[in-house]
């Protein structure tokens, strides 16, 4: 994991972790579509991520402590990816990005869950994040 940064600016440092073309899309699919296995993330990606890119992004997200990787108890050769608290904390950022795109991009469309959360207000968003904690974080 890289420990030095181009600058001390927190926006720069955040971009070094999240700012490539694929990372937030992988997180989006884990958060909003509950895709938690490599094969699901690979084959159901609307954007068509390549397997080597997906493997690299998942590895980096694990290194950054945004997701965890564990053995899937239902299948010996599968791993399951789960959000950490640090990963769940990205949900408001994703929702703000979705709201911005919905307002300013001419052909944008929010996914159904993002729209529901946007329209549902802070209580609904908090309940969603609590549900993510129940699903992804160890008891």
pLDDT digits (tens, 9 = 90+) for 2-37: 567 677 788 888 888 888 889 999 999 999 889 999
**Residue 79, strand partner residues:** 71
**Distances from the Cα of 13 to the Cα of 4, 6, 19, angstroms:** 9, 8, 9
Asked if the model's pLDDT at residue 84 lies above 50, the reply is yes
Asked if the model's pLDDT at residue 121 lies above 60, the reply is yes
**From CA 54, how far away is CA 83, in angstroms rounded?**
16
Q: Is residue 67 part of a domain?
A: yes
Contact 79, 72 (CB under 8 A): yes
The residue ranking higher by pLDDT, 78 or 100, is 78
Asked if the model's pLDDT at residue 1 lies above 70, the reply is no
Place of tokens 């299948």: 75
Average pLDDT over residues 85-102: 90
104 pLDDT band, cuts 50/70/90, is: confident
User: Number of structural domains, the chain?
Assistant: 1
The residue ranking higher by pLDDT, 112 or 104, is 104
Phi, psi of 64 (to 5 degrees): -80, -5
Q: Is residue 3 part of a domain?
A: no
Number of residues that make up the chain: 139
pLDDT of residue 62: 97
pLDDT of residue 87: 96
Mean pLDDT across the chain, nearest whole number? 88
Q: Is residue 83 part of a domain?
A: yes
Average pLDDT over residues 61-68: 96
Contact 75, 5 (CB under 8 A): no
Q: Is residue 66 part of a domain?
A: yes
Q: Is residue 117 part of a domain?
A: yes
Q: Is residue 4 part of a domain?
A: no
Domain of residue 65, residue span? 10-136
CA dihedral 17, 19, 25, 29 (to 10 degrees): 30
The CATH code of the domain that includes 64 is: 1.10.10.10
């Amino acid at each position: 994991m890289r420990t030095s940064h181009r600058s001390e600016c927190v926006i720069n440092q955040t971009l070094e972790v999240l700012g490539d073309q694929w990372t937030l899309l992988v997180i989006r699919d884990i958060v909003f579509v509950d895709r938690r296995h490599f094969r699901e993330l690979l084959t159901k990606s609307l954007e068509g991520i390549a397997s080597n890119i997906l493997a690299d992004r998942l590895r980096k997200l694990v290194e950054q402590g945004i997701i965890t990787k564990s053995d899937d108890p239902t299948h010996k050769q599968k791993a399951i990816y789960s959000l950490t608290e640090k990963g769940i904390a990205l949900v408001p950022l994703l929702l703000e990005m979705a709201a911005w795109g919905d307002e300013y991009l001419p052909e944008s469309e929010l996914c159904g869950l993002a729209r529901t959360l946007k329209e549902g207000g802070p209580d609904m968003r908090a309940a969603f994040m609590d549900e993510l904690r129940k699903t992804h974080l160890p008891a």
